[in-house]
Amino acid sequence: MKRSAALTPLSREHHQALVISKRISDLGSLSDDSLSHYWQQVRDTFAEDLYTHFLQEEEGFGAVLEGELKQRFLSDHVRLRDLLQQTDRESILLFAQCLKAHVRFEERELFGWLEQHHSQLLAEAFIPHS
């Protein structure tokens, strides 16, 4: 499905998030050192981008979301921000699972809803920073 121009940059960032999630999951079967080393790299290079991504979404369309979509959207962001601060193996692996689930939710449900119900907002008001 072709994504609206306003959401395309976010979808590209989602792809990168899925790559990171998969890598963490793959490393989960290896030594703690391998996982910890990669996790530190993720936190050093990806955390700021993830926080920016969340902020762009929250400011760009958070106010127009409704009901369960809004609740899940916001609670996922809170949970992922919290997990990103953790350093134990269980939390790191949970972060990967939650990140993957959140990206799938946004791509499969939330973005489609936005395009259907708020196409004007996407066309005029929401222009994410690349």
Residues 6+ apart with CB under 8 A from 37: none
Query: pTM of the prediction?
Result: 0.91
Model confidence pLDDT, tens digit, residues 30-77: 889 999 999 999 999 999 999 999 999 999 899 999 999 999 999 999
